[in-house]
Amino acid sequence: MKKAIIYIPNKSPMQSGLGKTNKWILEFITKDPTKNPLMGWESSSDTLTELKLEFSTKELAINYAKKNKIEYEIIEPRKRKTVKKSYADNFLK
């Protein structure tokens, strides 16, 4: 049976904004990861691991998984903590 995870990807460390972080991703989990003896890379004969499906809502991703009989796990996004600081706080310490 196929197993997948459904999540919202984190923003890239190279970006300051939150663009492209509102899509839900359905990504398949590999069943048999093996280590390549020559290069040391992790590889698999399971081609589903190369597939990432994007959905606009979590419900659409769940419906797709249920419709195609895919066992899934949902990883909920965490809330960002924002610390409100004044410019003057830089000079108070």
User: What residue spans define the domains of the chain?
Assistant: 3-91
CA distance 48 to 45: 9
Give pLDDT tens digits for 57-81.
999 999 999 999 999 999 998 887 8
One of 3.40.190, 3.30.200, 3.30.870, 3.30.160 is the CATH number of 3-91, namely 3.30.160
pLDDT tens for 6-29 read 999 887 778 777 776 789 999 998
Nearest to 65 by CA among 43, 85, 48, 47: 48
DSSP 14: T
pTM: 0.71
Strand order in the sheet with 71-75: 52-55, 24-28, 3-7, 71-75
Within 10 angstroms of residue 26's Cβ, the number of other Cβ atoms is 21
Structure tokens at 2: 């196929």
